[in-house]
A and B are shown apart, each in its own frame.
Chain A
Amino acid sequence: MLPFTMEKPESAEAAIAAAAGGARYIAGGTTLVDLMREEVERPERLVDINALPLGGIRVEGDDLVIGALARMSEVAADRNVQRLQPLIAESLIEGASPQLRNMASMGGNMLQRVRCPYFRMLDAGCNKRTPGSGCAAIDGLNAGHAILGTSEHCVATHPSDVAVALVALDATMRVRGPEGERSFPIEELFRLPGDTPHLEHTLLPGELIVELRVPGGPYSRRARYLKVRDRASYEFALVSAAAALSVEGGVIREARLAVGGVGTRPWRLRDCEAALVGKRLERPAFEAAAHLATQGARPLQHNHFKVELLPRTIVRALEMAGEVA
């Protein structure tokens, strides 16, 4: 680990001021400390934001508002979260371990780095870590990599579970930076790798995540998160799906669907959603919609199975959400 200096401001303004000139914010540190030890992350200055008043979970009208510093475990255990947005609670407890969930903040979770093994290896080419150094995964061992949103420069999957749920639920994010505050859909936080895989998100320099806002919808309480993996717990998803349905008289009125483990960012499936609306809450409709999910999929040498597994996971998640099997 490279030497660094640490500051601990007590207000957002002070933190933003402290971060000017390229310091990194640190909250739970579960990603950053791990990667600093590998020297994949090499910050010279850290700004510890844990003293900032950015925690807490509250309800505003139909919206659930989650502070950026709220811990994963705290959000998952919150009664309002469980009542209003069970999908978020379920995706949270399926992610990481109880210890890591006690540490990791919601804001940090959005910014966690990829799990591509070559990204962690200083002696392998990785355009995300070292722009221009090539991608060892494209011709390497890429079974865990993405089939959607890849480029010739990067094929790593986004690792977050709860981000998949948040993207499905049209959540927004409020950030504060040197130029003031702004809000935008969380989906817009995540960049596609394109030819700049080292740029992972759309935050401007010095911007601090303040809170996440999840609008309530008629589908919010009929929502499930399915994470498919070889080990029952403590493993990243091979494929995951967040599905939420609004149903009247056995007919789907509205659907929200996003998937993880297959995309270079949390992957919203609006075509699939559209295909579900107006259909009866039955497996054939799920299968027809799920079939659309792999349009544009570009499997690599070792992850063809995800093309098969993705629609199956979606169908199963829809069945779980629809409580039909």
Chain B
Amino acid sequence: MTVSTIGNPMTRVDGRAKVTGRARYAADFNQPGQLYAVIVSATVGLGRITGIQAAEVERMPGVVALITHRNAEKLAYLPHKAGIDPATGERLHVLQDDTVRFYGQPVALVVADTLDHAERAATALRVTYEARPPLVDPMDPKAESIVPDTRGRVSPDRARGDADKAVAGAPVTLDATYEMARENHNPMEPHATIAAWSGDRLTLWSKSQYLVNEQAEIAAVFGMPVENIEVICPFIGGAFGTSLRTWPHVTLAALAARQVGKPVKLVLTRKQMFFTTGHRPRTLQRVALGATNDGKLTGVVHEGTGETSRYEQFMEALTAVTDYLYSCPNVRTQYRLTELDTGTPNHMRGPGEASGIFALESAMDELSYKLGIDPIELRRRNEPEKDEAENKPFSSRSLMQCYALGAERFGWARRTPEPRSMRDGRLLIGMGAATATYPAFHAPANARVRLLADGTVEVEAAASDMGPGTYTSMTQVAAETLGLPPERIRFRLGRSSYPQTPSHGGSWTMASVGSAIQAACIEAQAQVSRLATADSASPLYNVAAGELEWSDGRLRRRGETTGISYREIVAKAGAPIEADGSAQRDPEVAERYSMHSFGAVFAEVAVDPDVGTIRVRRIVGAYGIGRVVNPLLARSQCTGGMIGGMGMALMERTVLDSRDGRPVNAHMADYLMPVNLDIPELDAHFVDEVDPHVNALGVKGLGEIALVGTAPAIANAVFHATGTRVRSLPIHIEDVLTA
């Protein structure tokens, strides 16, 4: 019997490609004769272009084309919205008119023979504007919050019982506001597209987490058939959500390539990565809790406001966790948006949940001190038996097991409850905990399996791998299902012509694509069985399907040891055996169960009482995420998510200058993210959790929950260390300086 492949901590199948530099990312696909395009970004925050001194730049060395709204072709911009596009509003049309909607919006594109020529010309281009003051600060008195128009996707407001009354009348109450800064994804790989036309066919080597949607979006923008476009992206240099949508630079690359009749390479500068490719919206939240003296929640109010652009309503699940996380008869959540003169935000790792849970879990921590109850005990006293918002059971929920395991590994028992009570020499030590949760999503997906005569198997899906290890985990699923060693599987992704998959985000790739691959493998096996039992020369001729079994790459009659190998069956067939598979969640099961992952995150910080430096010393996370396909990669995801959470808690913040909306710290040295020296001991554990409902693989997803919960755990630890409650992220030195 083959050793089970799922659950093995195998190293990455693409590891060798990545450590040798052979893994090719979008900007690595240099094309013969390619030209270089550089975007000119608006230098005002709102207004109108009044002049472009094009002639001077067009004469500059190497310049092949200067494309502006005056000479760009009029694009179709047909209606197209995918699930990752805002339901309300219309995407930015690029170089189609003289309007400037936000600082940094593309206003021109220079195409030249070399990068240096293109950059020089782009800098030299003079654009004049009629500028108006933009509104970029949600705290500005002129800023108004609006009720989002969700087009029926979800409700911005939810309520059960009378939460406000319950809070007002509770023996113990807490009412606080929390704020989180705007963040930018800042993947290491800048957005990049190389566009090449061949007649009316377009190839895009383009950084994308959603290839089939990039294909469909560009088809809609150009008004051309979807099948005339191929998007290729075998490797993504991190994305964290920024490459879910197809942004204007992809359109610009295609536009330029068509105009100049040559392949065009367009890579955003690091500064431009802060302009038009989305950001985690800044959020303002109010949480009000009412509780009995023994810590039972009687009322919960959670009001959250996010920011969006003037032209699209970006929404995220800011208050969603509050609906189901704890048991409480009276809960009211509300979500609002503030429209600002900025680009549209988009999903960033743990979107909505990560921001919302910072407020809720900080508030729960504050309440625990008011009550004098251990923070974990407070969660235990409010552990629900079901999803009280949906009034249905959880498909699985291991939160209390996560707290138990995490507390033991972390050494929570050593914590003394009083703030400022723990020290290491001069340093103030704090320990904090917080809950993590994220929905276990599953979207329809497809895959193809091809059994070859040499005994190897090709598996294809238009999926992506931005770093979690899709290449490896999908190889494991195929190997396990087919009963083959993983070395015999070649999983390919990153082409829009492969079978369609959902976006590579929302922690649903394993569930969705994995299930489709499993289905395709099962279908391939069925084909093989039919061939083997229909062939009179086969040892399995006329054997009933129910008597067959698969093992070690062989098909045999149950109880027998010989049988026939794939290789032989495929060789006899004379052609590869190809099977398509698709999978989606059973709607009936989805109706019956509430499906979420849960986890508990513990952080220890050391705060220097003299100079205010905050350093994280340890983080321990325990997660219930269903089946773990690859523990090595899963742990790596978790520790990576913790590091993202550290950035959220203590460093990351995009700062806009209110005068014209420019991001002032649009630079890798000024937008702080953790470096190696910041990283302490990190430890991730998984509780044994079998969820028979979520999907056939039993997986609940990991990428997002790995980040969710870390920031409040750190913020709670900072309070425990210093006695100062900081309700605004990131927490910087000056916030605890006078603590």
Contacts and interface: CB of A to CB of B under 8 A. Distances in A.
Assess A/B contact in the complex (Cβ within 8 A).
yes
A117 B651 contact: no
B123 interface: yes
B664 A312 contact: no
Interface in B174-222: none
A141 interface: yes
Given A140-B657, A235-B672, A316 B733 contact: no
B312 interface: no
B611 A122 contact: no
B655 A141 contact: yes
A76 interface: no
A225 interface: no
Interface stretch (A162-170, A226-234, A250-258, A274-282): A226-234
Interface string B658-678: 010010110101101011111
B738 interface: yes
B650 A316 contact: no
B611 A309 contact: yes
Among A228, A231, A236, A313, the most chain B Cβ lie within 10 Å of the Cβ of: A231
A220 B669 CA distance: 32
Nearest to A121: B662
Among A1, A3, A115, A228, the most chain B Cβ lie within 10 Å of the Cβ of: A228
Nearest to A303: B734
B43 A305 contact: no
A229 B669 CA distance: 13
Contacts of A308: 734, 737-738
A295 to B, nearest CB: 20
B733 A238 contact: yes
B733 A228 contact: yes
A62 interface: no
B700 interface: no
A325 B611 contact: no
A238 B608 CA distance: 15
A60 interface: no
B664 A232 contact: no
Given A230-B650, A308-B734, A308-B738, A1 B119 contact: yes
Contacts of B426: 325
A94 B665 CA distance: 22
Contacts of B676: 233
Contacts of B565: none
Contact of A309 (B123, B612, B657, B674): B612
A214 interface: no
Contact of A312 (B611, B615, B669): B611
Tell me whether chain A's interface is mostly helix, strand or loop, or mixed: loop
Contacts of A179: none
B424 to A, nearest CB: 13
A273 to B, nearest CB: 20
Contacts of B43: 123
A229 B610 CA distance: 13
A232 B672 contact: no
Among B119, B670, B674, the most chain A Cβ lie within 10 Å of the Cβ of: B670
B610 A316 contact: yes
Interface in B76-122: 116, 119-120
B188 to A, nearest CB: 14
A176 B426 CA distance: 49
A243 B572 CA distance: 82
A316 B611 contact: yes
Interface in B563-609: 608
A313 B734 CA distance: 12
Contact of A117 (B613, B667, B733, B738): B667
Interface in B678-695: 678
A228 B613 contact: yes
B732 interface: yes
A139 B677 CA distance: 34
A234 B676 CA distance: 10
A191 to B, nearest CB: 25
A39 interface: yes
A122 B737 contact: no
Contacts of A39: 123
Nearest to B608: A316
Contacts of B662: 121, 124
A115 B669 CA distance: 10
Nearest to A97: B675
Nearest to A123: B43
B110 to A, nearest CB: 14
B675 A231 contact: yes
Contacts of A115: 669
A150 B672 CA distance: 26
A255 B90 CA distance: 65
A3 B664 CA distance: 28
Given A140-B664, A325-B426, A230 B610 contact: no
Contacts of B120: 1-3
A37 B669 CA distance: 16
Contact of A313 (B123, B611, B665): B611
The 10 A-B residue pairs with the shortest CB-CB distance, nearest first, are: A305-B734, A123-B43, A232-B677, A233-B677, A141-B664, A316-B610, A232-B678, A228-B611, A117-B664, A231-B672
Given A1-B119, A141-B657, 20 more contacts: A1-B120, A3-B120, A39-B123, A117-B664, A117-B670, A121-B662, A136-B657, A139-B659, A226-B611, A230-B650, A231-B672, A231-B675, A232-B675, A233-B675, A239-B611, A309-B733, A312-B611, A312-B737, A313-B611, A315-B610
20 contacts: A117-B664, A123-B43, A140-B664, A228-B613, A230-B730, A230-B733, A231-B651, A231-B675, A232-B675, A233-B677, A233-B678, A235-B669, A305-B734, A305-B737, A309-B733, A309-B737, A312-B610, A312-B611, A315-B610, A316-B608
